Each structure stands twice: as C-alpha cells, then as structure tokens.
Amino acid sequence: MERTAEEETVRAAGCVLWRYAAGPSGEVEVALVHRPRYDDWSHPKGKLHPGEEPEDAALREVLEETGMICVLGAPLPTARYVVRGRPKEVHYWAGEAVGGRFSPNDEVDRLLWLPPEQALTQLTHAQDRPLLAAALEAL
C-alpha cells in the first residue's frame, strides 16, 4: 500500500523556550538544547505521538528535553523542510519556562540560557533563526 503525502510528512512540535533572567535586569533569556546525536544547537522539539495534538507534543517535548515546565504563548511560524528525503513539519510556540530543572539525558546533553543576540549566533540551523525573531516579536 502506498503512503499519502500526509503519511509521508514527519510531524513535530516544539517551543522557543524563554524566561526572564534572574537579577535586576530582568532581560529575556532563550533556551537552546545541544543534541549529541546531531552535534547541533536548536530549540527543543520532537515528533508527535500517534493521535497527539501539536500543543501537547510541544509541552511534552520541552519537558522531556529540558526538564522545564512551560506555558504556551503565541504560535510561531511552522517550519517546513526535508530530512532524509521526507518532508518535515514542525509547529512552534513561544513557551515561557515557569519551573523545572534540567538533567542531561540521551537526547539532550546540554542546555544553555542565552541572551537573544547570543542565541541567534549559537543556533546551528538557519531555519531556527526566524523562529527566534518571531518569538521575540510576540513577547
């Protein structure tokens, strides 16, 4: 049986995770995760489970990858690109970290909280940069 275009598309969700920095400045910081499997820095994201809604997947993936509980804010542009010959569609939200604690795991070995300007240069993939700009605009 042949797959339809929707069955072929890898569906995922994630967040541009942010918080206010501790201290008097109260500046916004953005979380980036390092995935050793790909040796890259990106926003937390992951594939949807069967029947899972993108919003639920975004919250789950942020928690799994960063240990952070977040509150979804503004929806951000959906990223569309091809991975190993298959189209991938990633739904994103701005997500405010409201609690939690990072512990390294098999998928993510490091988490950085960075000022937006530094996060922009730390991101490995070009398609992640406009998401950061959109999240900052939404805040």
Q: pLDDT for 61-76, tens place per residue? A: 999 999 999 999 999 9
Q: Tell me the average pLDDT of the chain.
A: 93
pLDDT (0 to 100) of residue 23: 79
Rounded mean pLDDT, 24-41: 94
Read off the DSSP letter of residue 49: P
List Cα–Cα distances, 62 to 11, 43, 48, 87, 94, in angstroms: 16, 9, 12, 22, 11
Rounded mean pLDDT, 102-128: 96
- 27: pLDDT strictly greater than 70: yes
Kindly report the CA angle at 41 between 118 and 28, in degrees rounded to 5?
40
- Give the domain ranges of the chain: 5-138
Q: According to CATH, what is the number of the domain 5-138?
A: 3.90.79.10
Contacts 24+ apart (CB under 8 A), 60-65: 61/12, 61/13, 61/14, 61/15, 62/14, 62/15, 62/17, 62/95, 63/100, 64/105, 64/107, 65/33, 65/105, 65/107, 65/108
By DSSP bridging, strand 10-20 and strand 28-35 are antiparallel
pTM across the whole model = 0.91
Q: What is the pLDDT of residues 47-101, one digit of tens each?
A: 999 999 999 999 999 999 999 999 999 999 999 999 889 999 999 999 999 999 9
